[in-house]
Amino acid sequence: MTDLWDDRRLWCTADERDGCAVIRPEGVLGYSTYALLRDFMLKCAVEEPRALIVDLSAVAIATSTVLNVFTTVWLRISDWPALPVLVASGPAHAELFRRAPVRRYVGVFGDVDEALANVDRPQPRRRAHRVLPHDPASPRAARRFVARTCTEWELPDRLAQDAVHVASELVQNTIAHTGSEVRLRLELRRGRVTVAVGDDDPAPAVLADPGGDAANAGRGVHIVTQLARTWGCVVDRLESRKTVWAVLGPA
């Protein structure tokens, strides 16, 4: 069970059902609590459940504008972790959602059971992960692990080479700028490879000036942006950790 309280009248909890994260906010969803629900949903998405389902049966919605929170989260996670977002509106909010543009991006259902029954099962995904120590040898270990995994998955040479390079740069960045162990994850879905590296430092990854000092933080991230279709950084300040991810492969 995960929970989070905001003294401006919103309480969020989450549990797992059928591989999905079921998020249950209670209280008032308005302008002052919009960010709390958004960040809580993003935190749950980092764990890569089958889907995010938000149960609104115990929520009062202050204004229809705040329903944009679901579109915002969907956009943030559409490339990685590429999870569907579903809302169980409950009878109290059914009419509000019936007119809402957010339906173009998220599934809206009457209750959690109906949402669970309508989760679109994603195409088969392949995953691999490894935890590496905070050690100068870890980038080399990461390269070997990714190269071996890409061979097992029979990926094209160019895609495998890019995945190896991206993983090496992200792991090197973690070793150089944090004191954390490295949590390396690979995922193959729809011909695209996602490389994700997590650590226990909440400072977000940033781009450095490519013409600056080579010792500057973020040089590895700058290289990653040249190889990846898209990349991002999800920060979980409650747990004091972050995940940097990059998606490689065909458009």
Q: What is the pLDDT of residue 171?
A: 95
Q: Return the residue matching tokens 């011909």.
A: 191
Q: What is the pLDDT of residue 103?
A: 86
What stretch(es) of the chain map to CATH 3.30.750.24? 2-117
Calculate mean pLDDT across residues 99-105.
83
Dist CA 195 CA 186 (whole Å): 5
Strands, E assignment, 89-160: 107-109, 126-132
Look up residue 147 and give its two tokens. Answer: 């190269």
24-66: per-residue pLDDT in tens? 999 999 998 999 999 999 999 998 899 999 999 999 999 898 9
- One CATH from 3.30.360.10, 3.40.50.12280, 3.30.750.24, 3.40.50.300 for 2-117: 3.30.750.24
Residue 240: CA atoms inside 13 Å, Cβ hemisphere, count? 5
Of 198, 197, 193, 196, residue with least CA distance to 151:
193
Q: Which helix (H) or strand (E) holds 38?
A: helix 34-46
Dist CA 5 CA 25 (whole Å): 9
What stretch(es) of the chain map to CATH 3.30.565.10? 126-248
Q: Residues 233, 170, 249, 106: what is their CA dihedral angle, to the nearest 10 degrees?
A: -20
| Conformational region of residue 190, where left means phi above 0, alpha means psi within -120 to 50, and beta covers everything else | left
pTM: 0.64
For residue 69, what are the contacts with CB-CB under 8 A and spacing of at least 6? 29, 34, 37, 38, 41
Q: Which helix (H) or strand (E) holds 26?
A: strand 20-29
Calculate mean pLDDT across residues 80-84.
86
DSSP state of 184: E
Q: Which residues is 192 bridged to in the sheet?
A: 189
Look up residue 152 and give its two tokens. Answer: 């097992």
**pLDDT-above-90 percentage for the chain:** 61
Q: What is the pLDDT of residue 157?
A: 95
How many other CB atoms sit within 10 Å of the CB of residue 64? 14
Of 90, 119, 122, 123, residue with least CA distance to 107:
119
- How far does CA 47 lie from the centroid of its chain? 7
Q: Which residues is 242 bridged to in the sheet?
A: 199, 235
Fold of 126-248: Heat Shock Protein 90 (3.30.565)
Is residue 170 within 8 A of residue 242, CB to CB? The reply is: no
Q: How far is CA 240 from CA 63, 198, 199, 206, in A?
A: 32, 11, 9, 17
183-220: per-residue pLDDT in tens? 999 999 878 899 999 999 998 887 654 455 444 445 66
